[in-house]
Structure 1
Amino acid sequence: MSRMTGYIPTLDQIDELHHKIAPSQAAYDLVHTHCVIVATIARQLARRQNALFTNRCKLGDTADDTATLPDAVRASAQEVTGGKAPTRLIDEHMVTIGGLLHDIGTYLVFRHDGTDGEPLKFSGKNYIRHGLLGYQYLLDEGVDESVAQFARNHTGVGLTQQMVIAQNLPLPPVDYMPVTLEQEIVMVADKYNSKSVPPKFLTVDAYTRRAARYGEENKRRWLELVAQYGVPNIPALAEKYHMRVI
């Protein structure tokens, strides 16, 4: 286990980190709301994973979540359906923190950031840098590496060094892949909500089409993640946040 070199922020400190870097109230509302949604989905996915893990520990490999289930598994199925038991319990608190901070770098890649009288708009050319910029911002603010990595390692379904080089992305040519299950869960949760203006939710099929734009391997990776973590109740979340679903 690596030694901590920074602090794990509280919820109040997370909000302070957002306000400190947000260029306008409009930018804060868009990015922070997205982060809250992703943290909510990620926590639901983690809760489902933990329920399946606990069920498997009790019943062994013959556990069947379509049969008579413990209350925890049935309760998790109201939020997320399907999924497979993970190799260990998931840290739901770390997943929540990571979800709330994963996109903090997007404040730095606006073309119109709400201060110039124009509608919010991201810079398409620089947007891919938001993960690395958020990672560096969190480190500069004294946040621990284990938390800052949620910003660095969530783009797409994971960026490999080969992908960075092949696509000529404006990033140092290294891997930007989740290194923990918690980071992977936040990466997956992020795919279900878009910061488009206006923001919207995506179904599994909608993101599958997006993933396919970058090749069959990218699509396959996404579908494997869906099989592992299950499918969140996107219609219920869209109704709660008054957003459309595509």
Structure 2
Amino acid sequence: MTGTIPTLDRIDELHRAIAPSEAAYDLIHTHCVIVATIACQLARRQNALFMRRCTLPAEGAAAVPASGGVEGGQVPPRLLDEHLVLIGGLLHDIGTYRVLKHGGEDGEPLKFDGDRYIQHGLLGYEYLLENGVDESIAQFARNHTGVGLTREAVVEQGLPLPPDDYVPVNLEQETVMVADKYHSKSTPPKFLTVDAYMRKAARFGESNRRLWLEMVERYGRPDIPALAEQYHMRLVD
């Protein structure tokens, strides 16, 4: 470990230091809080399944009552670090402040730069490293785009990124990547169901659609309608 694992207070400081306006902070920080909440629910469900693995019947996961609003899921190969998931979720989208075309200064509406938006993961990774955050945490920003952005996809699509794999390297990063798909920073922000994101993933190819459904099968289905009601945001079904 060459950097620090930030505290919750430090995470808030990192968001505020890069946010160009209070409106930008509200949008992006709230998104990160929501994703961290969903990711922690998924991680708790995974850990509950793992802890019961020795007493489950062969068909398994369905025998374990839903936990944290998440139903289904498959037994993971190990316990997940829920604290790491929380920290990673709270910081995963911090690079999006750097791809705002209009940042809310002088009261203008927030708008992202569509051409540069794909860079937000790498920009967040670099920002966190610059501020002394450990590589293990900074990678949550780098490795959460889509359902896993590969070197092959970067090259084939001519994306404005250095050719490389931008995919989760552990279960904690994958959990945050999955959770991120259930909420959008659109204006106004919105929640997405499994089917809503499936349609979005399908626009990038059948393999993306299948990969998303495989992840849903693995991690289970969080109660997105309940979260949409809690945050008073619209739900795309």
Percent of matched pairs sharing the same residue:
72
Q: Is the 8 A contact 2:62 2:72 kept in 1?
A: no
> Is the 1:46–1:90 Cα contact (8 Å) retained in structure 2?
yes
Q: Structure 2 counterpart of 1:152, which letter?
A: R
CA distance in 1, matches of 2:153, 2:81: 29
- The residue that corresponds to 1:101 in the other structure is 91
**2:108 maps to 1:118:** yes
**Alignment partner of 1:219 is 2:209:** yes
Shift of 1:63: 6.1
What is the TM-score with the length of structure 1 in the denominator? 0.94
Aligned partner of 1:141 in structure 2 is 131
Q: Give the drift of 1:116.
A: 4.0
Q: Give yes or no for the alignment of 1:14 onto 2:11.
A: yes
Matches within 5 A, 1:55-66: 55-56=52-53, 58-59=54-55, 62=58, 64-66=60-62
Q: Distance in 2 between matches of 1:101 and 1:62?
A: 38
* Inter-partner Cα distance in structure 2 for 1:39 and 1:22: 19
Counterpart residue type for residue 210 of structure 1: K
Paired residues, number: 236
Aligned equivalent of 2:76, options 68, 86, 107: 86
1:27 correspondence with 2:18: no
3-state DSSP of counterpart to 1:85: coil
> Cα gap change, 1:80/1:60 in structure 2, threshold over 3 Å: closer, same or farther?
closer
Counterpart amino acid of residue 181 in structure 2: K
> Deviations for 1:120-147, whole angstroms, at most 9, x for unmatched residues?
0100000000000000000000000000
CA contact (8 A) 1:55 1:63 kept: no
Whichever residue aligns with residue 150 of structure 1, its letter is F
The more displaced of 218-227 and 116-125 is: 116-125
1:193 is the counterpart of 2:189: no
Whole-angstrom CA distance in 2 between matches of 1:13 and 1:124: 29
**Compared with structure 1, are the counterparts of its residues 82 and 244 closer, same or farther at alpha carbon in structure 2 (3 Å cutoff)?**
same
Partner of 1:42: 39
**Aligned: 1:130 with 2:130:** no
Specify the alignment match of 1:159 in structure 2: 149
Q: 1:66, 1:208 → 2: CA distance? A: 23
Q: Distance in 2 between matches of 1:160 and 1:61?
A: 37
In the TM superposition, residue 118 of structure 1 has moved relative to its aligned partner by 1.7
Cα separation, 1, equivalents of 2:151 and 2:66 = 40
Say whether 1:74 aligns with 2:65. yes
Confirm or deny: 8 A CA contact 2:42 2:220 kept in the other structure.
yes
Contact 2:61 2:74 survives alignment (8 Å): no
Q: TM-score, normalised by structure 2?
A: 0.97
Letter in 2 for 1:59: T
Paired with 1:61 and 1:20, the residues of 2 have a C-alpha distance of 51
Instruction: List gaps (5 residues or longer) in structure 1.
Output: 68-72
Inter-partner Cα distance in structure 1 for 2:152 and 2:139:
20
Deviations 1:96-117 (A, max 9, x none): 0000000000000001100143
Say whether the 8 Å CA contact 1:6–1:145 is kept in structure 2. Answer: yes
The gaps in structure 2 that reach 5 residues or longer are: none
Q: Which runs of 4+ in 1 moved over 2 A?
A: 60-67
Amino acid paired to 2:121: G
Name the CA shift for 1:52/1:119 in 2 (closer, same or farther; >3 Å). Answer: same
Residue 9 of structure 1: how far off its partner (Å): 0.3
Q: CA deviation at 1:75?
A: 5.3
